[in-house]
Chains A and B, each alone.
Chain A
Amino acid sequence: MNTAKRDWQALLTRHEMLLLYVLIAEWLFFYFAGTTTNRRGVVVGFGTLDRQFDILRHSCEIGLLALALTPVIITAGIDLSVGSLLGLCAILFGQLWHDGGLPIPVAAGLTLALGALAGGLNAALITALRLPPLIVTLGTYSLFRGLAEAITHGSITYTDFPETFLFVGQERWLGLPTQAWIFFVVALAVWLLVHRTTFGRTFRTIGLAPEGARYAGLPVARRLALVYVLAGLIAAIAAIIYTARLGQAKADAGTGYELFAITAVVLGGISIFGGTGSVHGTLLGVAAIAVLKNGLACLPVVMGMNAAEEMSGLLTGALLLLALTASVLPKILSHVRSRPHAPAP
């Protein structure tokens, strides 16, 4: 058991190291290939500081959703509703501020509470009724987006937010994009929770063997509930940052973000079967995708093809498949005759 555990840890480390190498190689490649001097003699492209800040700025919302999903997936769950919840929270925030006449901080606070409440709906269905998270969150995925559309009739867009609020999404504070600080704080908090508290370590136990955890006397239902509430809360934070970055709140905010976030988490080495994974892995996954996406758009070849969007999607998918295959290859090679069993979805 002990050696098996050490092997497993070694594998984990290897995955994250591998990802780090990919990230560095990616970055170096784009640094050299994506940086040029333009007609006016100014250095432009991937190698500029502005570009690096933009990458950071653009990654915050998806990064936050990926952080929200990290504990969820570690407990062998999933939450498909985070993108829709981002949309719902964005328009609720807009409504509270614009129609409700509340000051921004109060509106933001209430939005966070509502986000946690929505996460609580997922949590209640998943833990109290012991329903599969995939299906529950598939339902709330439709429900949250549907509510956002129903509330605004699809058409209302909240804009004209005050400058002080837009500062959060569009300006820099202490040298970095303001929202990056929020992102770092959340990342640190989630990291501490997952890696440095006994509380957070039980997530892994639950992910590996929920029945075992129950027999060991862990309050499995309560821990699971917390994970989904936390996901709702973080989605609400992402919603506020999104609103500040674009300066508008609308029902279509965050459409499709859940897939990017899940991709980042899985790329970061978290097994969808639960029980393994790390927050730093997730962060590396987010960074790898963000650098790929932004870097490709700076490549002259890709620019000539006018296909940066499609190429980045295509390569992200390919990278994910590659990472998956790489993660099981050693296992397959060493246990050619291991016990076959069908993996759960």
Chain B
Amino acid sequence: MKTYFRELSVAAALGVVLLALAVFAPAFYQPQPLLSLLTREAPTLVVACGMALVIISRQIDISVGSQFSVCSVCAGLLAARGWPIYLVLPASAACGAFLGAINGALVAGLRLPSIVVTLATMVTLRQGLNLVRQGEFVNLPDGIQWLGLGQTAGQWLIVLTALGLLVAFGLALRHLAAGRLVYAIGSDAEAARLAGLRPQLSTFLVFVLLGALTGLAALLNVAQSPQVQPLSGSGLELKVIAAVVVGGVAISGGRGNLWGAFAGLLLLACVAPALTHLHVEAYWEKAIQGAIILLAVVADGLRSRKGGHR
């Protein structure tokens, strides 16, 4: 109970919001719109899984939004050239993995601070994409939307893919040696090295994994509409990092899990639709999101002070 205090408190906050919606805006719970909302958040969840791993290993990646855009446009262009979906999917993931590998090589290979490296790649990728595409939409051929399935089937497939990845990574992180390794390098890389592990290689791979997941997420997003906007994914990095941190993953590494990140994501994702359903004016949205983030970390801080250690 005590170990999962943070995750449980986020889940409880989420529960309160959902309950409030149930009482004041029961319309929120119609199955079809709810499925659509979940589908909209599925790509973010996939990126959040990767981001949680990166933050647990005591790194950060703020270039995921730009990676997401680049992968979306690449996937869109390939699809527009007539590539079938089963080839576009790995291509998009590979594109992401490649971009992740650049970050990984600079961070793990040259021992550069990840926040600065990914700041630089964020700007470079975004502006490079602007330069090449000038903001033009990519129109997709038929058969890409909903991965070639019908709408409902496609939505379920996207949501289940995201949830499947969440469960797989969540369990792997807890039970597999590779998963424990992420915690090990996050809490004490030197100790991990002395124990015969290879922290630099692991760090590199974690970045590659995040890139690949971002590429996959980009495709899951592309598959939801018949055209790709190159701007898609801007601001994604802050949304994902906030979700992961609100979910109890410590920015100082080595602590947290995916279930918490999932709850954090749902909580923050609820704010906008909840405001719409409760007919509150949109002006307060950003302030509320900021307040949630601060509340989550303050709760954490107060608790660790009481406990005497973190």
* B238 near A138: Cβ-Cβ < 8 Å: yes
Contact with B along A300-334 (1 / 0, CB 8 A): 00000001011101101110110011001000100
Interfacial chain A residues near B115, Cβ < 8 Å:
78, 134, 272, 345
With beta carbons under 8 angstroms apart, the residue of A129, A273, A313, A324 that contacts B301 is A129
Contact-residue size bin, chain A (C-beta under 8 Å from the other chain): 35 or more
Query: Taking A153-B283, A310-B130 as contacts, is the C-beta distance between A259 and B293 under 8 angstroms?
Result: no
Query: Taking A139-B290, A143-B294, A328-B112 as contacts, is the C-beta distance between A340 and B283 under 8 angstroms?
Result: no
Contact with A along B96-107 (1 / 0, CB 8 A): 000000000011
* A266 near B252: Cβ-Cβ < 8 Å: no
- Any A CB within 8 A of the CB of B141: no
Interfacial chain A residues near B291, Cβ < 8 Å:
139, 143
Interfacial chain A residues near B302, Cβ < 8 Å:
129
**Candidate in B106, B114, B119 with the most chain A CB atoms within 10 angstroms:** B119
* A125 near B298: Cβ-Cβ < 8 Å: yes
* B121 near A340: Cβ-Cβ < 8 Å: no
Interfacial chain A residues near B193, Cβ < 8 Å:
340-341
A-B contact count (CB 8 A): 184
Interfacial chain B residues near A317, Cβ < 8 Å:
120-125, 127
- The CA-CA distance from A130 to B251 in the complex, in Å, is 13
Contact with B along A73-92 (1 / 0, CB 8 A): 00000100000000000000
- The CA-CA distance from A272 to B62 in the complex, in Å, is 15
* A310 near B127: Cβ-Cβ < 8 Å: yes
- The CA-CA distance from A332 to B111 in the complex, in Å, is 9
With beta carbons under 8 angstroms apart, the residue of B121, B126, B252 that contacts A321 is B121
- Any A CB within 8 A of the CB of B168: no
Closest chain A residue, CB of each to CB of B294? A139
- Any B CB within 8 A of the CB of A146: yes
Nearest CB of A to B274, in Å? 15
- Any B CB within 8 A of the CB of A112: no
Binds A, one of B41-49, B52-60, B75-83, B153-161: B52-60
Chain B residue total in the interface (Cβ 8 A): 63
Nearest CB of B to A335, in Å? 10
With beta carbons under 8 angstroms apart, the residue of A140, A273, A325 that contacts B113 is A273
Contact with A along B283-306 (1 / 0, CB 8 A): 111111111011001101110110
Query: Taking A125-B297, A317-B123 as contacts, is the C-beta distance between A324 and B241 under 8 angstroms?
Result: no
Interfacial chain A residues near B286, Cβ < 8 Å:
142-143, 145-146, 149-150
* B242 near A138: Cβ-Cβ < 8 Å: yes
18 contacts across the A-B interface (CB closer than 8 A): A125-B301, A129-B298, A132-B252, A134-B60, A139-B242, A154-B283, A307-B131, A314-B128, A317-B122, A317-B123, A317-B127, A321-B121, A324-B120, A325-B106, A340-B189, A342-B59, A342-B186, A345-B114
10 A-B pairs with the lowest CB-CB distances in the bound complex, closest first: A146-B287, A143-B290, A142-B290, A129-B301, A146-B286, A313-B127, A317-B124, A342-B189, A139-B293, A317-B123
Interface residues in chain A, defined as those with a beta carbon under 8 Å from any beta carbon in chain B: 78, 125, 129-132, 134-136, 138-147, 149-150, 153-154, 259, 262-263, 266, 271-273, 307, 309-311, 313-314, 316-318, 320-321, 324-325, 328, 332, 339-345
